[in-house]
Amino acid sequence: MLDFTGWLVINGTLLFEVIGIFAFALSGLLEAARKRLDLVGMITVSGLTAFGGGTLRDILLDRRPFFWIENSAWVWVLIGICLVALVFMRTRHLEPTQQAMQWPDAVGLGAFTAGGTQLALDGQVPAIIAVIMGVLTAIFGGVLRDIVVNEIPKAFSDHIPYSVIAFTGGWVVVGLNYLAIEPFIAVAIGALFTITLRVLALLLGWRLPAWKA
Amino acid sequence: MLDFTGWLVINGTLLFEVIGIFAFALSGLLEAARKRLDLVGMITVSGLTAFGGGTLRDILLDRRPFFWIENSAWVWVLIGICLVALVFMRTRHLEPTQQAMQWPDAVGLGAFTAGGTQLALDGQVPAIIAVIMGVLTAIFGGVLRDIVVNEIPKAFSDHIPYSVIAFTGGWVVVGLNYLAIEPFIAVAIGALFTITLRVLALLLGWRLPAWKA
Amino acid sequence: MLDFTGWLVINGTLLFEVIGIFAFALSGLLEAARKRLDLVGMITVSGLTAFGGGTLRDILLDRRPFFWIENSAWVWVLIGICLVALVFMRTRHLEPTQQAMQWPDAVGLGAFTAGGTQLALDGQVPAIIAVIMGVLTAIFGGVLRDIVVNEIPKAFSDHIPYSVIAFTGGWVVVGLNYLAIEPFIAVAIGALFTITLRVLALLLGWRLPAWKA
């Protein structure tokens, strides 16, 4: 039985968080499938993508235990998803497109950024560090995914606003904390702000300035 | 003079452990040679392969000091092996084949999995986490080796049962601990079980389910 | 306003350190530009190159807080440099050559090696471990930079003495500590020794033994 109560109480973003973890795990799974990794590769890359960012944040902030160690049921969920996906993809050649994944991924971006920033703020670090921890939480799972499958991280090279939006959303959380808003509310607003910005970026095709050819 | 006493007492797998470290260090060395790395690359990749998995496990479990810091003589051993290998390979063009390395590597797989799982269990983590720590201890040295030399980790992509066997062996250690078997014995049996399974997989050509082309 | 006082007191190499950080950050920036990464990639790769080695050392030695968390103004400096560089490189096509960067980089190599070795010695680790921590501090930023942009780390493959020189310089710091020389002086001499050796290696074209073709 999954017990999410602890996490729920900590930052009050249960639903967002869960959507984000699933979205990130699936993005790892899709990448693993694209690279024809085996079952072990699928599980590892999914796990890295879903929990790598938060784990790196916790190592840097010296927080223990990690989320996935405290809530070890998630590891089973991950293994289950990968087994199902492996069977499913083999028999039906079904590959949900990366296109479709962008929407739940935006939810994950918002939840992880806002939650990570708040956790760092609770640890009394300077504002800029808290924001960077929020960004790391949101993007480093994907960065590790890309490094493991031997590609230059998309977050660093595709000129689509992603980390920059997380960076902005982190400052919203910091700002609301300075205004002495309840952390629960600050995280919720920060997450919604980030998600909205990301959805706008996707719908309107925003781009970061690119290099001249 | 090398002092392994501390390690010997901790999990009682001295001989296995030593064979495993040498096997993993040599696998790093061979990979470094194949990629024509220089002396520094050889030492680093050997060291990463031999100690990377255990170090990652210790970072995740927040255990200190690391094995190679406590037993720093190993660092000299590693540097010595690499210097000898460099001279030897230059003059005789001798490259022990990866084929030949599979057998000591199987011993390392068993020793690292069983030892890592037991260490994690001693730290009171849930069973699934202990098993994952055992698997990480055994495979992540090789994963880091492959990432550094810019390849997709073999452990994730070659469809040869390796991590899956470690995963099974970890559960054996967990099971024996639940039966209140002496940790020393649990590690020994778990290691032997894993080694046997790996040797069988190699001899009988077992494969993980692969993607349809 | 940047406050370096804490750092200055710790190992007394303020100027060296600052030159080193800028040199390493710029080397990350150049690599990011060469790979056409976007703004986020530039900032991350610059930051990894400048602070990755020291952060890894601090994780391994379990030291907290990290330099860049304690002196968070550096994060702003880094973001500023990258924004300026992005504008500058776009409009003027100015790319300082890697050639020109070798000299400040040599200063960074010396400062980071000597400082890292001394910090580790202060933590009561064995001499060889202290030296390795010094080398890690100096080279692992660059190693992470190369891994992220999907190349085999230059430090492991270019046969130009770099880590080997850091290794030698680390032993100078260790030796001076055994002679009960003031740490401040030991670091300064170790850094100067390393810088001199590196400059000689560059001027005289020293090479590590290479593999037969």
Percent of residues, chain B, with pLDDT higher than 90: 53
| pLDDT of A179 | 97
- Whether residue C205 is predicted with pLDDT greater than 80 in this model: the reply is yes
Contacts with C173 (C-beta within 8 Å, 6 or more apart), sequence order: C113, C114, C117, C118, C121, C130, C131, C134, C186, C187, C189, C190
Query: How far is it, in rounded angstroms, from Cα C39 to Cα C32?
Result: 9
| DSSP helix/strand/coil, B154 | helix
What phi, psi does C119 have (nearest 5°)? -60, -40
Give the pLDDT score at C96: 56
Cα A15 to the center of its chain, rounded Å: 14
- Closest-CA distance, A119 to chain C, in angstroms, reads 15
Angle in degrees, CA B126, B64, B118, rounded to 5: 35
Please state, in angstroms and rounded to a whole number, the distance separating the CA atoms of residues A50 and A68: 10
CB neighbour class for A36 (10 Å; exposed up to 12, middle 13-18, buried from 19): middle
Sorted by where each begins, the domain ranges of chain B are 7-204
pLDDT of amino acid B51: 94
Indicate the residue of C59, C93, C148 with minimum beta-carbon distance to A147: C148
Candidates C145, C150, C156, partner chain B, best to mutate (most B CBs within 10 A): C156
| Interchain proximity B129–A72, CB inside 8 Å | yes
Q: Which residue of A has its CA nearest to B207?
A: A38
Q: How confident is the model at residue C2 (pLDDT cuts 50, 70, 90)?
A: very low
List of chain C residues whose C-beta atoms are within 8 Å of the C-beta of residue B34? none
Exposed / middle / buried, residue C204 (Cβ in 10 Å: 0-12, 13-18, 19+): exposed
Answer positive or negative: Cα dihedral of A96, A97, A103, A104.
positive
Distance (Å, rounded) from C-alpha A13 to C-alpha A2?
16
Higher pLDDT, A210 or C140: C140
Based on its alpha-carbon atoms, the radius of gyration of chain C, rounded to whole angstroms, reads 17
Q: Which of C59, C155, C156 sits opposite B59 (nearest CB)?
A: C59
pLDDT tens digit string along C92-115? 555 556 677 788 889 999 999 999
The model's pLDDT over C12-44, given as tens digits with 9 standing for 90+, comes to 445 777 888 888 998 898 888 888 888 889 999
Whole-prediction pTM: 0.89
Six-digit token string for B131: 């098993």
C residues 102-141 lying closer than 8 A (beta carbon) to A: none
Contact B129 A36 (CB under 8 A): no
Per-residue pLDDT for C116 more than 50? yes
Q: What share of chain C is helix, strand, coil (3-state, %, to 5)?
A: 75, 0, 25
ipTM of this complex prediction, to 2 decimal places: 0.85
At A70-103, the pLDDT tens digits run 888 889 999 998 888 877 776 555 555 667 778 8
* C-alpha–C-alpha distance, residues C33 and C49, integer Å: 14
Question: Which whole number is the average pLDDT over C64-71?
Answer: 86
Cβ <8 Å between C40 and A152: no
The token pair at B32 is: 């470094």
Chain C residues in contact with B89 by the CB 8 A cut-off are 211
pLDDT tens per residue, range C121-164: 999 999 999 999 999 999 999 999 999 999 999 899 888 899 99
What average pLDDT does the structure give for chain B?
85
Chain C residue nearest residue A153, CA to CA: C148
DSSP conformation class of A173 = H
Nearest CA distance, C195 vs chain B (angstrom)? 19
At which residue do the structure tokens 């797998």 appear? B13
B97 and chain A in contact, CB less than 8 A: no
Amino acid in position A185 = I
Query: Could you tell me how many residues make up chain A?
Result: 213
Contacts of B137 (CB under 8 A, 6+ apart): B53, B54, B56, B57, B112, B113, B115, B116, B117, B119
Chain B neighbours (≥3 Cβ pairs under 8 A) are A, C
Six-digit token string for A6: 């602890």
Q: What is the pLDDT of residue C92?
A: 55
